Chains A and B, each alone.
Chain A
Amino acid sequence: MSTANVTAFRRTAGPAVDRRRVTQGRVMRSEWIKLWSLRSTVYTLVAAVGTMIGAGMLLCAFMAAQAALPGSPHQALFDPAGAGLRGVSLAQLAVGVLGVLLVTAEYSTGMIRATLSAVPRRLPVLWAKAGVFTVVAAVLMIAASFTAFLGGQAVLGERGTTLAADGVARAVAGAGLYLTVVGLLGVGLGFILRNTAGAVAALFGLLLVLPTLGEVLPADWGRRVVPYLPSNAGQVIMSVRPAPGELAPWTGFAIFCGYAAVTIVVAAVLLKRRDA
């Protein structure tokens, strides 16, 4: 039988609905609507931006007070740009959880079956979630990072530094980029584990726990392995002057992106293969 035959039916009421194909752009639009129509997502984004700016400025204020004391040991080690960006360690929790939740909330609520019925080829959903998240997180986190830096330097006054100084602009933008990729790792792990608690634990195990385990390795092993661990590699981009033994900023960041890419590829294979 022909498809044209069986799809023909007589509508008795209402105008016909235009038949349009599913495209990547339309799936992106759908994910955009989903992202902004949940209070939890919006709150998490506000928390990420807030902690990034708030914690950075608070630390700068603290530093300014400390450094003002004569003969303070803090003076020699003082890194004004780094102080302004210290909110990253808190903001990454919010951004990472958001990346995970974007995916696992669909599994825990059953929404994923509605989503995959609408887009049965499935992979466009992964690309759309990753794409929309990347755009939103990058814009907000880079903006938050610059705000935190400029605010921090304003607090530090003459002890502060400027964006024109060597490596500073890269470090500030890099903080926003690092946070974005943390969230992307969350998206990938969300699709792999399909469970909020599991994916959050895996993400922060990878970022926070793995580096401390690396430190207990034998010294010459450690020197070779530790810089390549995800968060160590990813965070060099935020240091104005990388310490000896650390990777070069963009090399480290590229490796960190590599971890995220591998995670997303595994997620894609599993999403395509498994039952929803």
Chain B
Amino acid sequence: MIEANGLTKRYGGKVAVDNLSFTVRPGVVTGFLGPNGAGKSTTMRMILGLDAPGAGHATVNGRRYTRHAAPLHEVGALLEARAVHPGRSGYDHLLALAATTGISRRRVDEVIDLAGLGEVAHRRVGGFSLGMGQRLGIASALLGDPATLILDEPVNGLDPEGILWIRTLLKGLAAEGRTVFVSSHLMSEMALTAEQLIIVGRGRLIADVAVANFVRDSSRLTTRVRSPQAEWLRDLLAGPDVTVTGDVTGVLEVRGLDGEAVGRIAARHGVTLYELTPVHVSLEEAFMELTRDAVEYHGVTGRGTASVERSAA
């Protein structure tokens, strides 16, 4: 269980995390999602007591992380794959961390096997591939057999096999009743791994939602209609379960009615249609839409936008 209460962090005049509150529950994988620069890593560092919050506080398993007598047994963390001295072997790295809390060599061997590092464990970390580095980070997070895991972008740099491995591992750990908190900037990955999503942008909470709900709400079909009489058609289509949006003159995005229904209404009132297209909204697009205002640096994209209701939270 992780609880963040009004976490705030400023660097200079810039707000990195802004009054962020959420709860991460045991038993499910919780995805921590947001564009780059949204404050995910900073939040994780504050939870682990590495950065001091300007305001607010976070607790892990009911207590501030720094107050735990045996922190590695409470929380396993992967902050960056390369938080390791490249000149040391993976085995010695794990051994040194394990020693701080009296974890045995046997357990070190165990996590090396668990992470699939057996062959490279005695080589210097400097020669590790990115994927091996991530596996070493996972191994160190599992050392203390902790009830809570905090992993910052664990699938970064992994090959498909490694990604599948992480996904299975995280779900397994959550199924054992552990709290698993995983950050990512990839919606598609989180949709496959997580059950709960905490979405942030510019340091603020945007949504705290079950993945199933997010998928249901955002992947609904919309219908694109182009008509010279768009404003009139908008009024005709209006109904309790229908949402009509339109950024471009003469083009409407209709949700709640399929193409057939829209065509029939238009025909009944003699409205001319130039186009009637069903549009699928991908999860990635839904996520981008949700965090659009919160992205730090926009790239210019020529893509049309799909709108998503903010009913998520």
Residues of A whose CB lies within 8 Å of any CB of B are: 1-3, 6-12, 14, 16-23, 26-27, 29-31, 33-34, 37-40, 105-106, 109-121, 275-276
Contacts and interface: CB of A to CB of B under 8 A. Distances in A.
Among B86, B145, B175, max chain A CB count under 10 A is at B145
B176 A12 contact: yes
Contacts of A37: 88-89, 92-93, 95-96
A52 B63 CA distance: 51
B62 A30 contact: no
Interface string B73-102: 111010110111111110011011101111
Among B49, B51, B100, B177, max chain A CB count under 10 A is at B100
B70 A20 contact: yes
Given A19-B70, A37-B93, 9 more contacts: A7-B74, A11-B145, A22-B101, A26-B101, A29-B100, A30-B96, A38-B88, A109-B85, A114-B93
Interface residues of B, number: 55
Interface stretch (B103-111, B220-228, B233-241, B298-306): B103-111
Contact of B99 (A8, A10, A30, A40): A30
A27 B70 CA distance: 12
Contacts of A20: 70, 73, 101-103
B48 interface: yes
A256 B178 CA distance: 52
Contacts of B176: 9-12
B99 A29 contact: yes
A115 B103 CA distance: 15
B84 A111 contact: yes
A94 B23 CA distance: 50
A86 to B, nearest CB: 32
Interface in B135-184: 140, 144-145, 147, 172, 175-179
Nearest to B144: A17
B72 interface: yes
B272 to A, nearest CB: 62
Contacts of A9: 26, 147, 176-178
A26 B100 contact: yes
A38 B124 CA distance: 9
A18 B85 contact: no
A114 B61 CA distance: 20
B95 to A, nearest CB: 6
Interface of B: 1, 26, 45, 48-52, 61-63, 65-66, 68-75, 77, 79-80, 82-89, 92-93, 95-97, 99-104, 107, 110, 140, 144-145, 147, 172, 175-179
B108 to A, nearest CB: 11
Among A27, A33, A116, max chain B CB count under 10 A is at A33
A273 B86 CA distance: 27
8 contacts: A19-B73, A22-B70, A22-B101, A26-B100, A109-B84, A114-B97, A116-B49, A276-B45
Q: Nearest 10 CB-CB pairs, A to B? A: A9-B177, A20-B102, A37-B92, A30-B99, A17-B145, A110-B83, A120-B66, A3-B62, A275-B51, A276-B50
A26 B66 CA distance: 17
Contact of A275 (B52, B65, B88, B144): B52
A276 B144 CA distance: 22
B100 A14 contact: no
A196 B102 CA distance: 31
Contacts of B66: 120-121
Contacts of A21: 69-70, 101-102
Contacts of B84: 109-111, 114
Nearest to B25: A6
Nearest to B76: A117
Given A9-B178, A33-B96, A105 B85 contact: yes
Given A9-B147, A105-B85, A113-B79, A275 B99 contact: no
B30 to A, nearest CB: 14
Contacts of B172: 12
B63 A3 contact: yes
A33 B85 CA distance: 13
Given A3-B61, A110-B83, A120-B66, A17 B52 contact: no
Contacts of A119: 71, 100
Contact of A120 (B48, B80, B83, B88): B48
A120 B93 CA distance: 18
